[in-house]
Structures are given as structure tokens and as C-alpha cells.
Amino acid sequence: MTIIVTGAAGFIGHALTRALMQRGEHVVGIDNLNPYYDPALKHARIADLATVDSGRFDFAELDFADHEALETALAPHKLST
């Protein structure tokens, strides 16, 4: 199953994504990496997720409100509704 996690670079999003990946799920993480708090911390969290299990995590830096960018980023993934 592929699961989308918005805010994947945030505290909760990172923990959720890590837990999903550890149970075997494929996760597409979305985050706009805005500067609300330290972007370096957000980048470090994304880098950490990339090391959990290769092939289980894809990341898209985009604003979830940008419908066209969201559709483009999710197009290659098999998602069910």
C-alpha cells in the first residue's frame, strides 16, 4: 500500500512516516519545507527517512494547495481512494 503523509518533514509527520515504513508501507511524503521553523531540521528529517529502507519513501517538496504540482508528483504512484 502507498500512503501519502503531508508535513512529512515536521515532528509528527516524520514520526508517522518512519512508523509506517517500519511496518512495511510505501510512503509518499509531501512538505513545502517552509521556514516556519529551522529548514535545516526539516531537511535532516527527510534525509533520515531516506535511510530507513530504500525504496519505501518518496519525497515531493511542494505546497499541498498547488493542485497541478500535487497531481504531477503523485502521478507515478499507484494510489487507491
Q: In whole angstroms, give the CA distance from residue 72 to residue 53.
A: 24
Q: What is the pLDDT of residue 52?
A: 85
Entry pTM: 0.89
49-79 pLDDT, tens per residue? Answer: 998 876 789 999 999 999 999 999 999 988 7
Would you state the pLDDT for residue 79? Answer: 79
Element (H, E) at 51: helix 39-52
What torsion do the CA atoms of 69, 4, 52, 10 make, to the nearest 10 degrees? 80
Question: What is the model's pLDDT at position 81?
Answer: 66
User: pLDDT, tens digit, for every residue of 18-46?
Assistant: 999 999 999 999 999 999 989 999 999 99
Q: How many Cα atoms occupy the beta-carbon half-sphere of 11 within 13 Å?
A: 3
Q: Is 69 helix (H, G, I), strand (E, B) or coil?
A: helix
Distance of alpha carbon 75 from alpha carbon 43, whole angstroms: 24
Residue 4 has pLDDT above 80, yes or no: yes
